[in-house]
Structure 1
Amino acid sequence: MQQCKLPSRQKGFSLIELMVGMTIGLILVAGLALMFANSSQSGNELEKSIRQIENGRYAVELLQEEISLAGYYAEIPLHGIAYSSPAACETSALGFSLTTLPMPIMGIAASNVSEICLTDRLANSPAFVIHRLSAEGAPSNPASAALGTTYVQSSRCSADGVPFKAATAGSASAFDLKAIDCATTNPQIRRYVSRVYYLASCSECGSVSDGIPTLKMAELRGTTMVVAPLVEGIENMVLEYGFDTNADGQPDVFQTNLSTTAGADKWDNVVAVRLHLLARTIDRSADYSDSSKTYQLGAASTVSGDASGFKRRVYTSTVRIVNEAGRRETVSYKPASSP
């Protein structure tokens, strides 16, 4: 007679086996956590660099457009017109007369601290001012002009006796120059634009400063210079002005000195600007130092890095002042050769 075999009893894990299993699991979890942390840190550093690049490029593009439009005076005939030099923060004596217009571009030396509208200006940093008429969109109509704002109206009728008029909107007779029919009023006026670009030591500069170097703009709005932050992380700016010494519309020499005397370095001879910006990341990077690096901002300016943990990058661009350079150009015509 065959004997039945009883089934064996189920046994659990021993304490040693459980401890070994838990140890292996913890090692795997630690490895995954380390991998996640490294991946997250790399993502954060990449985000910082991308933001820095975007800020630097945007700052260059913004200043390129503004510089290229300097001296845009629309229909005003510039023959016989001289340039005046109003203070950068001027809000009333703007430099308009029958024979003068505000200078297209003027530099403000790093040592010049008299411009009080440039609030929280970064120490030892230059600035520059742009004067022009609005080029964005269609000209305004006198009936819809913003009260207290300065506009310029051109005359299209020789009987007016004056080529243009600068006036503050607010009275019906402020803009009375005639259209081409010499009977109706010219319905087009353009807003006067006066902007100062400079570097500030902070973006939010209240009672507690955030300490982020920022490109800012002080703009004439009505009778007040209003400051607005534009791009964070711009900590250094160098401008080399291209002077035209032979009146052909081309820069013959670039220099940073800001003399206003007559000659090659007179401001109304500036036809181009070579712009250098040093942008940094907004947030620090742990264990990062660029103290062994130097950054070249033009031929005569070198900036050394430091151990603050900020990553930096230089952006350079040469901008032609189209309105000033274009009217200086001379075109020579060569007669066609006979067949």
Structure 2
Amino acid sequence: MFTDRYRSIPAGTGAQRGLSLVEIMVGMLIAMIGVVIIFQMLATSEERKRTVSSGSDTQVSGIVGMTTLERDIREAGYGFSSAAFDNAATPVMGCTVNAYDSARPAAIRAYTFTLTPIQIVQGASGASDTIIVLRGNGSTFPAAHVFTESSDTTKKTRGRAGLAPRDYALIARNSPTVDCMIVEITEVNDDYGNCTACVDGVSIQHKQGSYSFPVYLPDGTTPVQTRIARYNNPAPPIAFTNGFIFNLGNGARRNIWQVTANNRLQVTNDLLYLDVNPADGTNDAVEVTEGVVNMQAEYGIDANNNGQIETTEWTTTNPATAAAWANVLAVRVAILLRSGQYERTTVTTAIPTWSGSATSPLTVTNLDGTASGTTPADPTMNWRNYRYRVYESVIPLRNILWGSNIRP
């Protein structure tokens, strides 16, 4: 006896099992569309992530660069700020400073620069400006010392308070049209038998060769150290009779701020020559930040003496006299940064601007260094495929402002 379980099923009448070819193709199509959408979302997400990350890096670079530069400029003129005023005894701002550094290559050991708290060297054809900041770091009140007698190695002052061995001293006469000189103080007493002239209690020495000085340590001990005078010219170019001594401390700096060809903001201390690689024969610079493509700066000169800087009183022209320097109340600086992320579409259609664009416009270049041009439709202008940020600041020259009340 047979049951239904063993009954044969006629051909063509059985139930269909599995998916048809059409259904499989439709499923594959839907899956492929889903994969494409997912990958597009991932690509868009990664692109946005890179853009945001690059923008964050640019912001950090801009803040670091501007903060460091601003801090340096605020100290400009420290130690010689009274030299800017033409109504008292020391109108020497603008004199040509004769300096010497035995650590430099022989051909440039003796060099000169202009005595100014800050100097803006305009870049050619819109290129980045160079900003030069001169400042001391003396720990005493920054008034000038009067000296009444002089030799090639000594100066007799009315009082030498605050002057110490190793300090930079700016020696000047009472005229900005006469050269001045930087020396290294080697003795203010005759504690080590090196300066018999110093026993008078008012003379200082700035000789060649070695000298000794005490070092005051936290534990209360004062060991004596010896060093070779580095900044005293063996053939002084100026013979002084009387004048003024400005104490710049033992860590004076003449910082030269520049933007390099590879978009680095760097600073070089011109008063402290340091060449780790003597083969290149250049003073080593310190890189402060990256991504900077342009830097512009202007003086704020209170020409009408109303205590304010008017819109028309911002200028790129260097003050020509000591009296003009007394009216420089501030500088304004802008740095332009470019992100490192290349965007496939145009994201910048115009060159960024800043408050001083009327007289000192910012400029950008393409990645190969060619000019940016002004035609956004030009496909070769790849500067348009990057994002930019402008950081600017108005920085008061507080030492010049205070210098009017400092007298020898």
TM-score by length of 1: 0.65
Matched, 1:200 2:227: no
8 Å Cα contact 2:316/2:359 also seen in 1 = no
In the alignment, the residues of structure 2 paired with residue 270 and residue 166 of structure 1 have an alpha-carbon distance, to the nearest angstrom, of: 33
8 Å Cα contact 1:56/1:315 also seen in 2 = yes
Q: Secondary structure at the match of 2:79?
A: coil
TM-score by length of 2: 0.55
In the alignment, the residues of structure 1 paired with residue 67 and residue 53 of structure 2 have an alpha-carbon distance, to the nearest angstrom, of: 21
Q: Secondary structure at the match of 2:251?
A: strand
Q: Secondary structure at the match of 1:235?
A: strand
The amino acid of 1:215's aligned partner reads: L
Given the alignment, which residue of 28, 42, 56 partners 1:36? 42
8 Å Cα contact 1:240/1:274 also seen in 2 = yes
Identity %: 22
1:91-106 paired onto structure 2 within 5 Å: 92-93=110-111, 102-106=115-119
Matched, 1:129 2:132: yes
RMSD of aligned Cα (Å): 4.6
**Structure 2 partner of 1:66:** 72
Q: Secondary structure at the match of 2:210?
A: coil
Q: CA deviation at 1:52?
A: 1.8
Matched, 1:312 2:370: no
In the alignment, the residues of structure 1 paired with residue 206 and residue 131 of structure 2 have an alpha-carbon distance, to the nearest angstrom, of: 23
Q: CA deviation at 1:73?
A: 2.3
The amino acid of 1:198's aligned partner reads: Q
**Structure 2 partner of 1:274:** 332
**Structure 1 partner of 2:343:** 285
1:156-235 paired onto structure 2 within 5 Å: 159-161=200-202, 171-173=210-212, 190-202=250-262, 213-220=263-270, 222-224=272-274, 225-235=283-293
**Structure 1 partner of 2:400:** 324
Q: Secondary structure at the match of 2:250?
A: strand
Q: Can you list the C-alpha shifts for 1:219-241, whole angstroms capped at 9, x where unaligned?
A: 23643532232222222222121
Q: Can you list the C-alpha shifts for 1:246-287, whole angstroms capped at 9, x where unaligned?
A: 7797656743333352276x4454231111222221342211
Gaps (5+ residues) in structure 1?
Answer: 96-100, 112-121, 144-149, 176-184, 203-212, 331-339
Gaps (5+ residues) in structure 2?
Answer: 8-13, 140-161, 167-182, 190-197, 215-223, 225-246, 275-282, 365-371, 373-380
Higher relative CO (Cα under 8 Å, sequence separation at least 6) belongs to: 2
8 Å Cα contact 2:265/2:289 also seen in 1 = yes
8 Å Cα contact 2:126/2:361 also seen in 1 = no
In the alignment, the residues of structure 2 paired with residue 153 and residue 319 of structure 1 have an alpha-carbon distance, to the nearest angstrom, of: 36
Residues 191 and 302 (structure 1 numbering): CA distance in 2 closer, same or farther, change over 3 Å? closer
Residues 260 and 155 (structure 1 numbering): CA distance in 2 closer, same or farther, change over 3 Å? farther
8 Å Cα contact 2:165/2:188 also seen in 1 = no
In the alignment, the residues of structure 1 paired with residue 207 and residue 61 of structure 2 have an alpha-carbon distance, to the nearest angstrom, of: 37
8 Å Cα contact 1:235/1:278 also seen in 2 = yes
Aligned length: 283
8 Å Cα contact 1:249/1:325 also seen in 2 = no
In the alignment, the residues of structure 2 paired with residue 19 and residue 258 of structure 1 have an alpha-carbon distance, to the nearest angstrom, of: 76
The amino acid of 2:29's aligned partner reads: T
Residues 251 and 107 (structure 1 numbering): CA distance in 2 closer, same or farther, change over 3 Å? same
The amino acid of 1:55's aligned partner reads: S
8 Å Cα contact 2:76/2:118 also seen in 1 = yes
In the alignment, the residues of structure 1 paired with residue 37 and residue 355 of structure 2 have an alpha-carbon distance, to the nearest angstrom, of: 45
Q: Can you list the C-alpha shifts for 1:159-216, whole angstroms capped at 9, x where unaligned?
A: 5435x77789x722589xxxxxxxxx9xx952121110122221xxxxxxxxxx2222
In the alignment, the residues of structure 1 paired with residue 329 and residue 205 of structure 2 have an alpha-carbon distance, to the nearest angstrom, of: 26
Residues 124 and 38 (structure 1 numbering): CA distance in 2 closer, same or farther, change over 3 Å? closer
The amino acid of 1:171's aligned partner reads: S
Q: CA deviation at 1:9?
A: 8.1
1:50-89 paired onto structure 2 within 5 Å: 50-73=56-79, 80-81=89-90, 82-83=92-93, 84-86=95-97
